[in-house]
Amino acid sequence: MIDLFNAGGHIIMSILTLLLLAVLVTAFKFQEWTKEMGLLALSVGILGQVVGL
């Protein structure tokens, strides 16, 4: 698992991990923000893929 994290790049994977935690928190406490956090995670993931190319 750590090998996949390192292969993805430390910065982008750290940001995506924090966004995953944010999505989980918003799913239970702030349901109105869940969609925005999910879209933010998606856009950061796509940006990471483009930068990685």
pLDDT of residue 49: 85
Q: What is the pTM of this model?
A: 0.77
> Which of the 8 DSSP states describes residue 8?
T
Range of the domain at 41: 10-52
**Does any domain span residue 37?**
yes
Instruction: Flag whether 39 is in a domain.
Output: yes
Query: Tokens representing 6?
Result: 């390192």
Domain count across the chain: 1
Q: Is the dihedral of CA 23, 25, 29, 30 positive or negative?
A: negative
Predicted confidence (pLDDT) per residue in 1-53, tens digit: 677 667 777 888 888 889 989 999 999 998 888 899 889 999 998 988 888 77
pLDDT at 4: 67
Q: List, in order, residues 6 or more apart from 27 with CB less than 8 Å away.
A: 34
In a domain, 3, yes or no: no
Say if 27 falls within a structural domain: yes
In a domain, 48, yes or no: yes
pLDDT value of residue 3: 77
Q: Hey, CA dihedral for 30, 33, 35, 37, is it positive or negative?
A: negative
Number of Cα atoms under 13 Å in the Cβ half of residue 47: 11
Q: Given this model, what pLDDT does residue 39 score?
A: 92
